[in-house]
Amino acid sequence: MVRAAVLPAVGAPLEVTDIELPEPGPGQVRVRLAAAGVCHSDLSLADGTMRVPVPAVLGHEGAGTVVSVGEGVGHVAPGDGVVLNWAPSCGSCHACVRGEVWLCAHALDGAAAVHARRADGGGELHPGLNVAAFAEETVVAAGCVLPLPDGVPLVDAALLGCAVLTGYGAVHHAARLREGETVAVFGAGGVGLAALQAARVAGASRIVAVDVSPAKEELARRAGATDYVVASEHTAREIRALTDRQGVDAAIECVGRAVTIRTAWESTRRGGRTTVVGIGGKDQQVTFNALELFHWGRTLSGCVYGNCDPVRDLPVLADHIRAQRMDLGALVTERITLDGIPAAFDAMLAGKGGRAVVVF
């Protein structure tokens, strides 16, 4: 038996309880978790913004050590450190064949599988976003584990599974930020802080961080922000004032709210790029008129998992980490236990902190 944080139903409080995991079958890997990041997407699953089968063990950002492997698994072995990959690509769907593995049509097929059972006889459990990282141990498909690169601390590596890949990819792959350009990052949570670090790596000349909380300024500046703007109705005007009245070359929205998306758009220069990373609900409607679309010539694009291929991008990130160009530890604002996850959810709702990490 292992301890896990279970979502019994959409909108219900998490329950930390014992679960029973099966031994890994063919093509599966059992992992003992070292750490799991508490991501806003987990909150979106808990409140129903994103739909997955329930009851479920949540948590999709984690790292740990391989305990055992099933038949046919050869890329990892017991004792290996691994990063969990919540969106494994099938390699054969239309998106994968085109090289857009982050849009794989079958990436979340595993979320519908039966992952474990409650030890108290409460029935079958699903694995959240495939990996069920809010547990002392988990059993996942082989495609959900990536070998931990040398020189990356195991606990810190948990953030590579979502926040860092997403923030890095939003800057380098989606927005295609170039050296000398200006950028604004909206939201200084885990993904936003990773995006700020990635913008610094890209050589941006001005990096503006935007958040509702004045208390996050120090975090944002440590991550690479050259300027900090407390969100208000004047945010776009303030950003234009920082950029010779032009607006930034690229805006990265990491919040997922209509008002923030609209502000990011208005903060982008004529001909610039606005990239939406945040996951919003269906009720968050953003409107544009036809004339402004023509006049401003901006590009507005969505971004899934940072438009990353984890197999390709993880070694690149490891190089940045070993060279101290990126600092995973600087993204962590609190280390908690499984019992601390509900409080971490509350902190996210209140706009506090960067990334809370469950350390096992």
Write the DSSP string, 208-271: EEEES-GGGHHHHHHHT-SEEEE-STTHHHHHHHHTTTS-EEEEEE-S--HHHHHHHHHTEEEE
pLDDT in tens, 121-141: 879 999 999 999 999 999 999
Alpha carbon 260 to its chain centroid, in Å, reads: 18
**Strands 355-359, 332-336: parallel, antiparallel or unpaired by DSSP?**
parallel
The dihedrals phi and psi of 124, each to the nearest 5 degrees, come to -75, 150
Domain ranges within the chain, ordered by starting residue: 2-161+327-359, 164-304
pLDDT in tens, 171-227: 999 999 999 999 999 999 999 999 999 999 999 999 999 999 999 999 999 999 999
Please say if the pLDDT value at position 167 is more than 80.
yes
**Mean pLDDT (the chain, rounded):** 95
Neighbour-count burial of 260, counting CB atoms closer than 10 A to its CB (0-12 exposed, 13-18 middle, 19+ buried):
buried
pLDDT at position 11 is 87
pLDDT in tens, 245-269: 999 999 999 999 999 999 999 999 9
CA distance 163 to 145: 16
The pLDDT confidence band at residue 45, using thresholds 50, 70 and 90, is: confident
Question: What would the two tokens of residue 179 be?
Answer: 């050296």
Name, in order, each residue with C-beta under 8 angstroms of 4's C-beta and a sequence gap of 6 or more. Answer: 16, 17, 18, 19, 57, 116, 125, 132, 134, 135, 136, 338
At residue 13, what is the residue type? P
Please say if the pLDDT value at position 354 is more than 90.
no
Domains 2-161+327-359 and 164-304 share a fold: no
Mean pLDDT for 320-336 is 93
Give pTM, 2 decimals: 0.95
Between 350 and 258, whose confidence is greater?
Answer: 258
DSSP 8-state class, residue 135: B
Domain covering 164-304 assigned CATH 3.30.9.10 in the classification? no
CATH (residue range 2-161+327-359): 3.90.180.10
297: left (phi over 0), alpha (psi -120 to 50) or beta: left
| Nearest of 215, 216, 218, 185 to residue 199 by alpha carbon | 185
Q: CA-based diameter of the chain, in Å? A: 64
Strand partners, 311: none
pLDDT at position 236 is 98
DSSP 8-state class, residue 170: I
The pLDDT confidence band at residue 355, using thresholds 50, 70 and 90, is: confident
